[in-house]
Amino acid sequence: MSVLVDAGTRLLVQGITGREAANFTRECLDYGTEVVAGVTPGKGGDRVYEVPVFDTVEEAVARTSPNAALLSVPPLLVLDAALETIAAQIPLVVIITERVPRADVAILVAAARNAGTTLIGPNSLGVITPGKCKLGSIGGPAEDVRRAYTPGRVGIVSRSGGMTTEIASMLSGAGIGQSTCISVGGDALIGTTLLDAYRLFVVDAGTDAVVTFSEPGGAQEHELAEYLDRSGGPSTPIFSFVTGRFIDDMPGTRFGHAGTIVEAGGSTARAKILRLRSSGVEVLDRLDDLPAALAASLRERAGKTTRAPVGR
């Protein structure tokens, strides 16, 4: 089991004729993702690695019935392209493009909410359900993806694209596989937050624990903590790492992603660590400790569910 994408995913790639998009289309196909269509206005009738290209999303939907879309178009064209996809009622839209104006993201977040579309990104590296389907450049070429990501029962949600793969690789090295891994994007305004992603995992029978990777800035961790407080603690255990503690000592300076700006006291790394801990999240001091902490939790959970009815 998994969330968002699986073997039944039929992918449409908007901007498929672009260099970067063509590149990750190849990677996705190599990994086994079913890429059914591409869209680039004016290039209808072309093919990219045998994938048919259409001029409009409407046409692509009528001919190929995609159920997920990946967007890689120039930043100022993202708004229209994503609205086109949402209007075509494709239920999952993942925006890879970086540097999308915040005003456009706000419009898209509202449009996705109204249409019931799951919007991921912008500035996402993609989503992967190991062994089944990868959307986007996440993990790179298929052979590299297979080294880092292995099928299993831990979900990963990360505000850093590169760290999504780093964490998966750490877990795989310790024999811990992943259900689905989501790069939600590091921008200040994004479609799917840590909390949104966590709620997907909570109802997934194939996910036993969730790992989150956070950076300073924003209110996502506070939102997650408040949700946990309301629902009586984490029903699915959460292991979190919050990076960027050193920035606490130097407010105002810009490091890392656009979203990594410390605006107010509550959005520093240390404030987030304290807040998450107060709501029952296991926040790691050292990232290297993650596999051992997870393994212990998974063992305990397995012990609870598979214990023999008669004691020995």
Partner 1 sequence: MRLYEWEAKQLLAERAVPVPDGGLARSPGEAGALARGWDACVVKAQVLHGGRMKAGLVQFAEDGASAEGAAAGLLEVDAPQSPPSVLVEERLQVREERFLAALYDPRARGPEIVYTPRGGIDVEQDAEDTVVRIPLEPGRPVQTFRLRAALRNAGVEGRDLRALTGIAAAVAQTFFAHDATLVEINPLAHVAGRGWVALDAHIELDGDALGRHPALVERFELGARADDGRFPTAIEQAASKIDELDHRGVAGRLVEFDGDIALIIGGGGASLTVFDAIRDAGGRPANYCEVGGNPSVAKVSAFTRLLLEQLSPSRLAVVMNVVSNTRADLVARGVVQGCIDAGRDPADTIAVFRVPGAWEAECHELLADYGVQALGRDVGIDAAARLAAGVTTR
Least Å distance between CB 148 and partner 1? 6
Q: Which is nearer to partner 1, 66 or 275 (CB)?
A: 275
Q: What angle do CA 245, 248, 250 make, to 5 degrees?
A: 125
- Of 44 and 77, nearer to partner 1 (C-beta) is 77
103 vs 274, beta carbon nearer partner 1: 103
- What 3-state class would DSSP assign to 147? helix
Within 13 Å of residue 299, how many CA atoms lie on the same side as its CB? Answer: 7
* Residues recognised as catalytic: 257
Q: Which is nearer to partner 1, 50 or 249 (CB)?
A: 249
Taking the complex as a whole, the smallest distance from the CB of residue 106 to partner 1 amounts, in Å, to 4
Q: What angle do CA 148, 69, 76 make, to 5 degrees?
A: 105
Cα 296 off chain centre by: 25
Asked if 269 contacts 261 with a C-beta cutoff of 8 angstroms, the reply is no
Smallest distance from partner 1 to CB 70, Å: 16
Distance CA 193, CA 135 (A): 18
**Which ranges of the chain does DSSP label H, i.e. alpha helix?**
19-31, 57-64, 78-87, 102-115, 142-148, 161-173, 194-202, 220-230, 269-278, 290-306
User: Closest separation between CB of residue 1 and partner 1, Å?
Assistant: 25
Token pair for 242: 């919050």
- Between CA 97 and CA 118, with CA 154 as vertex, the angle to 5 degrees is 40
Diameter over CA atoms, the chain = 71
Q: In the numeric block, which tokens belong to residue 21?
A: 């998009």
Measure the CA–CA gap between 17 and 6, rounded to whole angstroms.
25
We find the least distance from the C-beta atom of residue 97 to partner 1, in angstroms, to be 10
Q: Which is nearer to partner 1, 60 or 171 (CB)?
A: 171
User: Could you tell me if 8 and 24 are in contact, meaning their C-beta atoms sit under 8 angstroms apart?
Assistant: no
**Binding residues for partner 1, per CB under 8 A?**
75-76, 99-104, 106-107, 109-110, 137-141, 144-145, 148, 158-163, 165-166, 169-170, 173, 186, 188-189, 193, 213, 215, 218-220, 223, 241, 243-247, 252-258, 260, 264, 286-288
**Closer residue to partner 1 (CB): 230 or 304:** 230
CA distance 297 to 41: 50
Least CB distance to partner 1 at residue 311 (A): 38
